Structure 1
């Protein structure tokens, strides 16, 4: 069964500001991850690790689709742990006094068997913290 994780939050900031936070690697490191090789271009790959000295969990992604100020879609994988490749879609919808941010993480069942850190609950909690706390606080300050 492939049931995507969907996380949605209203951010009190214009879509352009949310888009910049999502796609500018200098802004990303303030609320998300430090992704040194991120280039906003379809087909480009990027790599990053969990924060901290341990360089834990090598993440790898490849940009699949870009619609400025509206949608960013990319792959999400852990090449050192699994051949599975999941998909993340960030969708931004401008509203009267802010932006509705919807994240959809598909095919996480490919990570089954990798342990609690890769469970549906772990990803759901992680995305809720990243968007509902880190991104929201960064953009609404």
Structure 2
């Protein structure tokens, strides 16, 4: 269906505490995600970053909406100058000495369909790259 969120599940060879730190600590985040200086996993914390493909860069405007320490982080995700608002949720589940991460990006259908950069397939591709090419090696590199 058109308004279904994109959902990814990955199991990482790292304990929950390590994964939580990776998704909430600004020093860790800049190594695999985006440079978010001063990021705080606190409800109401607002942050922004610029990203996109050259030559089109988008200013992302985000606000933390839910935090369950060690388990869940949700923030809004929208674009400056564009309609729509979506939500990104990271959920962590212990799996022995590993961690199952469930990432849900909901509300993609609120973005303008006239903008080919903001179609669902691009989010699928982007999150797949971030999780598999950036986060996985960051978490699983030798400590």
Question: TM-score, structure 2 length as denominator?
Answer: 0.90
Q: Unpaired runs of 5+ in structure 2? A: none
**1:96 corresponding residue in structure 2:** 96
**1:17 corresponding residue in structure 2:** 18
**1:73 corresponding residue in structure 2:** 74
User: 1:111 Cα deviation (Å)?
Assistant: 1.4
Within a 5 Å distance, the mapping from 1:1-141 to structure 2 comes to: 1-50=2-51, 56-80=57-81, 82-141=82-141
User: 1:114 Cα deviation (Å)?
Assistant: 4.4
Q: Summarize deviations over 1:23-55 as a string: whole Å, max 9, x none.
A: 001110000000124222111110011279978
Instruction: Give structure 1 regions of 4+ aligned residues with deviation exceeding 3 angstroms.
Output: 51-55
Q: Structure 1 residues 54 and 33 mapped into 2: Cα distance closer, same or farther (>3 Å)?
A: farther
Aligned pairs, how many?
140
Q: Summarize deviations over 1:86-114 as a string: whole Å, max 9, x none.
A: 01110000101310011001110111324
Q: Structure 1 residues 48 and 114 mapped into 2: Cα distance closer, same or farther (>3 Å)?
A: farther
- 8 Å contact 2:84–2:112 — kept in the other structure? no
State the Cα RMSD in Å: 1.9
Q: Unpaired runs of 5+ in structure 1? A: none
Question: TM-score, structure 1 length as denominator?
Answer: 0.91
